[in-house]
Amino acid sequence: MKTNKIFISGDEAVAQGVRLSRPHVIAAYPITPQTITVERLSEMVEAGEMDGEYMHVESEHSAISATMGASAVGARTFTASSSQGLLYMAEGLHYCSGGRWPVVMMNANRSVALPWSIYGDQRDSLSLLDCGWIQVYVEDAQEALDMIIQAYKIAEHKDVLTPMMVNLDGFILTHTYELVEIPEQKMVDEFLPPFQTPNKMSFEEPKNLGFSSKPDDNTEFKYQQNEAMFKAVDVIREVDQEFAEKFGRKYHDMVEEYRCEDADVVLVALGSVCGTVRVVVDKMRAAGKKVGLLKIRYMRPFPEAEVKDLAQRVQAIGVIDKDISFGYEGTVYTNVNSAISKIDKYVFKSNFVGGLGGRDITKAEIEDMFNHLLDGIEKKSEEKVEFFSLNVETND
């Protein structure tokens, strides 16, 4: 296969993925660390490399509204946001999934004010898990580009028709330059057919969209949405397989196991930190410790089967959360723990909360986590959330 590799940032990789997917309408509002994506897209439109309409909306609420409107006449759409902007869209996010409009968006994961911070964590998207969007978390720029293309195919599938959010860690991924393979337009066109949907207004078949339903019917519409999300699991597999056959890169569907085959303990993580965990796994494996990584790619639909399957095989599971649901625990942990609770086996579990507001998660910290889990196998006791990287003493 002919290769075309260029040195670009995660944000730029997203823009390339969008260009190749040929959306009709792009509507986005700038916010660090997403801005480079929308700047590149604007340049591509200006340079005639893209035919789409680029809308200069005055807010994120309008960005999501505009993309929904365009989708509602059968156009393929893209938006991008982060943090405060994503939260400002919240009303529209629910509206969009309820409307079954397969908008694709990139979210640059960033901390949420207050205190202000432009740096990364995953509290923005994880606090919106329930808004009905498919959520995927990527680990590098190549995966970001590839997942934008896959996202359209998954979201627009007739059994799915659900919007999809491609999450990449702010700065760590958005602003880091990597060598990225840019697929050929022709191949992307073969992979991604034009958008078709029954859920649109047209002059051939006029429709009323976005209606209200009485209590008699509302549950059924919500059931449908849930069903579509579950059907997405199969579609994600099919699309990933087809993508691998076409482009030679496979992303292991819902989760990726790294050196988990005979592992005693496993760390579960999302996004860029997985890269660091891999390095630590290799090091500890070399020292004879049976550790592994479960990279969760999709938070919605949730990879319940995969988590249960892994839990059957290991003694201890730790979850790294770059978020905290105040007064309880990390959201990823809550989800993982719920899956584990459905098997008839005791597994030692720990929740590591950190990396908030852009703080690095170091190899040493990850090694500590693994050691903590290895110790836990014997202890047989569950523990409460641990903020693993506090710089000061606490009252506990």
Binding site for other proteins (CB under 8 A): 24-25, 27, 51-53, 55-59, 61-75, 77, 91-92, 95, 98-100, 161, 198-203, 205-214, 217, 220-221, 223-225, 227
Pairing of strands 255-258, 291-296: antiparallel
- Residue 58 or 344: the one with the smaller Cβ distance to other proteins is 58
Helix (H, G, I), strand (E, B) or coil at 319: strand
Closest distance to other proteins from the beta carbon of 222 (Å): 11
What is the chain's Cα-based Rg?
A: 21
* CB hemisphere CA count around 225 (13 angstroms): 23
Helix (H, G, I), strand (E, B) or coil at 362: coil
- Residue 62 or 167: the one with the smaller Cβ distance to other proteins is 62
Closest distance to other proteins from the beta carbon of 245 (Å): 29
192 CB-near residues (< 8 Å, 6+ apart):
21, 22, 149, 152, 153
Q: What angle do CA 124, 128, 133 make, to 5 degrees?
A: 120
Tell me how far apart the alpha carbons of residues 62 and 291 are, in angstroms, rounded to a whole number. 46
Closest residue by Cα to residue 67 from 110, 40, 28, 97: 28
- Residue 19 or 322: the one with the smaller Cβ distance to other proteins is 19
Closest distance to other proteins from the beta carbon of 146 (Å): 25
Pairing of strands 316-321, 348-353: parallel
Closest distance to other proteins from the beta carbon of 152 (Å): 15
User: How are strands ordered across the β-sheet holding 316-321?
Assistant: 255-258, 291-296, 265-269, 316-321, 348-353, 386-387
- Residue 65 or 150: the one with the smaller Cβ distance to other proteins is 65
The answer to whether the beta carbons of residues 144 and 15 sit under 8 Å apart is no
Closest distance to other proteins from the beta carbon of 80 (Å): 15
Helix (H, G, I), strand (E, B) or coil at 107: strand
Helix (H, G, I), strand (E, B) or coil at 29: coil
Closest distance to other proteins from the beta carbon of 192 (Å): 17
Tell me how far apart the alpha carbons of residues 76 and 210 are, in angstroms, rounded to a whole number. 18
Closest distance to other proteins from the beta carbon of 133 (Å): 14
- Residue 177 or 223: the one with the smaller Cβ distance to other proteins is 223
Closest distance to other proteins from the beta carbon of 56 (Å): 6
- Residue 65 or 82: the one with the smaller Cβ distance to other proteins is 65
